[in-house]
Amino acid sequence: MATSNQRCWRIAAIVLVLLGMIGSASAQRSPAELAASMDEATGLARDGLTRFLSALDSGQGEGFAVKVPVRERGPYSHVWLTDLEHRGDRLSGAERMASASGIRRQVSLDEVIDWTYRHDGFTHGAFTSCVANPSQPPLPFD
């Protein structure tokens, strides 16, 4: 019987295939198609946020990170936060970006557009990374 994580990845793989995001087909997508694909990936991430928070809070995994918008850098700027702390409906973490490494941010759970972590040798989440780089598997943060 498949675990919930395996079912989630199977569903995500089916969505990716149906949206034409595997291989060179991604290079032929219009900006509108890419935006729709990113919206779908963000929806999958938000649907699984409770599972991510449960793993984070219980310490079952490693390389925990969330992707959030950084509005002061423009409408399409996003960063990954690592070294996470979860309190109520907020997360705080350090930016994972070469130019801003170590800057701590506090965000609402509503701002999270993606998440990732590793557990039992598997990467969980990283849905938007699959859209942005369909030819590469997502890499979790250490």
Domain presence at residue 141: no
Domain presence at residue 82: yes
| pLDDT at residue number 7 | 55
The model carries a pTM of 0.73
Domain presence at residue 139: no
* Domain count for the chain: 1
CB neighbours of 21 closer than 8 A, spacing ≥ 6? 29, 37, 130, 131, 134
Domain presence at residue 97: yes
Domain presence at residue 137: no
Domain presence at residue 56: yes
- CA 66: distance to chain centroid? 6
Q: Which domain holds residue 80?
A: 4-132
Domain presence at residue 140: no
Rounded to 10°, the helix 49-58/31-47 angle is 50
SS3 category, 138: coil
Domain presence at residue 91: yes
**What percent of the residues of the chain are helix, what percent strand, and what percent coil, each to the nearest 5?**
40, 25, 30
SS3 category, 2: coil
| pLDDT at residue number 129 | 84
pLDDT tens, residue order, the chain (142 aa): 455 555 555 555 555 544 554 444 445 778 888 888 889 989 999 999 999 999 999 999 999 999 999 887 777 688 899 999 999 999 999 988 655 567 889 999 999 999 999 999 888 999 888 787 766 655 555 4
Residues 58-76 as b or e (16 or more Cβ within 10 Å = b)? eeebeebbbbbbbeeeeee
| pLDDT at residue number 12 | 55
Distances (CA, A) of 97 to 9, 52, 57, 74: 27, 22, 24, 15
